[in-house]
Amino acid sequence: MEYGAGLRICLLSYRSNPYCGGQGVYLKNLSLGLKELGHEVEIVSGPPDPMIDEGIRVFHMPGLDLYNPEYPFRTPGLRELLEPVNLAEWLSVSTMGFPEPMTFGIRAYRFLRKRFGRYDIVHDNQSLSYGVRAIGKFVPTIATVHHPITIDRDIAVRTAGSFLKKLKEMRWYSFIGMQKRVARKLLHIITVSMCARDDISRDFKIPKERFTVIPNGINTDVFYRVPEIAREKDRVIVTNSADMPLKGLDYLLKAVARVSKKRSIRLVVVGSPKKDSSIVRLIEELGIGNVVKFTGRIDDKQFVLEYAKACVAVVPSVYEGFGLPAGEAMACGVPVISTRGGALPEVVGDAGILVEPENDKALARSITEVFDNPAMAGQLGNNGYKRIREKFTWRKAAEKTVEVYRSVIAEG
């Protein structure tokens, strides 16, 4: 194959709707970037629909889809359970496990084993399943690991309230053993930050030289400044609406409560809380229900308008392997307050205010500082806007990814 020839690429991703998290955003934007560089891209995806751009073929792997929010944890029919993979999936979910990475990998392998000759390379998006290891015996295979899920597990176990809940979290994250074993067999791994590389290398016991760091891009066609809309005084926005300890929303809510005792503040949370979640209970306990607004699911246009009206964006995560919410806010020209959790300093740089994670007092001080210094806030917004456009584009990410593909294929 000539160096400049277009590649035939298969991307694997087990749960990748862009509204479900960073893995979906990665799949959508990387696939488009590869296509625009002249490569042929096909995607093998688990549910839900990954919402990929036209011109990129998507193969949907049938499964039980037990995490569908419209029919959560449904009881499959007998005919469905006669299929061994479906039965394994249902039994695992019924015993509080998370089997989707494993079962997706099996289904992907079964589907691809008659199509291996179609591809120059297979690129897995963090399923790290046994099926991916099997695929690698027939076609060059690499994976992107966004961050080590061991971090999620450790924080979830640490913050669980009882011994039984800790056991439940350990059971949920039991798929990590599979991911470690599969990742160690891969000769090359892409990750999205230096911090993620170091943490994955440590927790998965993989030499650092097997990694290539390729930062995510930010889609500036989707996230951009709207200067004709005035920023509203004392309005804070956060996109980390997930009811997960890792995302640190509870610390931001405590910070908002602190600020609200001394001055006006409004918090807009993009997304919806789960019913009877710890976040809902915390808002009630803090007595800040009148200043917190959840938007529910919104489209990209409304998202940009919410950013345009915000005085400041806060990223309170305890840990991020990259930090798309910070980059998206910066692309919209919003001043950013972020924790130093994980790779967030690599994204924010000196274009925002950085505080220690799990520190609601520091968040409250920084929010007040931005409120009281509009000139500083404007400068932070401008600096962040420039930083994203100069350093974090999906075209750069796609070009660097293709370089890795060609290296892996050549080693072959």
How does DSSP assign 281-338, residue by residue? HHHHHHT-TTTEEE-BS--HHHHHHHHHH-SEEEE--S--SS-HHHHHHHHTT--EEE
Q: Which residue has the tokens 């695992």?
A: 92
Query: What is the reported pLDDT for 402?
Result: 98
**For residues 167-185, average pLDDT:** 97
Residue 350 scores a pLDDT above 80: yes
Query: What is the reported pLDDT for 213?
Result: 98
Query: What is the reported pLDDT for 242?
Result: 64
The chain-wide mean pLDDT, for the chain, equals: 94
Q: What is the pLDDT of residues 63-91, one digit of tens each?
A: 899 988 788 889 999 999 999 999 999 99
Query: What is the reported pLDDT for 286?
Result: 97
Query: What is the reported pLDDT for 277?
Result: 83
Residue 370 scores a pLDDT above 60: yes
Residue 1 scores a pLDDT above 60: no
**For residues 161-190, average pLDDT:** 96
Query: What is the reported pLDDT for 2?
Result: 42
Q: What is the pTM of this model?
A: 0.92
Residue 4 scores a pLDDT above 60: no
Nearest CA-CA partner of 105 in 78, 87, 126: 126
Lowest mean pLDDT: which of 63-72, 160-169, 354-363?
Answer: 63-72
Residue 129 scores a pLDDT above 50: yes
317: tokens are 């995560």
Query: What is the reported pLDDT for 276?
Result: 75
Q: What is the DSSP string of 210-271?
A: GEEE-PPP--TTTS---TTSPPPTTEEEE------GGG-HHHHHHHHHHHHTTS--EEEESB
Q: What is the pLDDT of residues 286-337, one digit of tens each?
A: 999 999 999 988 999 999 999 999 999 999 999 999 999 999 999 999 999 9
Q: Are strands 57-60 and 121-125 parallel, antiparallel or unpaired?
A: unpaired
Lowest mean pLDDT: which of 15-19, 99-103, 232-236, 342-346?
Answer: 15-19
Residues composing the chain:
412
Query: What is the reported pLDDT for 54?
Result: 87
Structural domains of the chain, ranges and CATH numbers in brackets: 8-217+393-411 (3.40.50.2000), 235-391 (3.40.50.2000)
Beta bridge partners of 13: 45
- C-alpha span between 123 and 409 (Å, rounded): 12
**For residues 117-123, average pLDDT:** 97
**For residues 128-134, average pLDDT:** 97
Query: What is the reported pLDDT for 3?
Result: 45
Query: What is the reported pLDDT for 273?
Result: 85
Give the pLDDT band of residue 274 (cuts 50, 70, 90). Answer: confident
Residue 185, φ and ψ in degrees, nearest 5: -85, -15
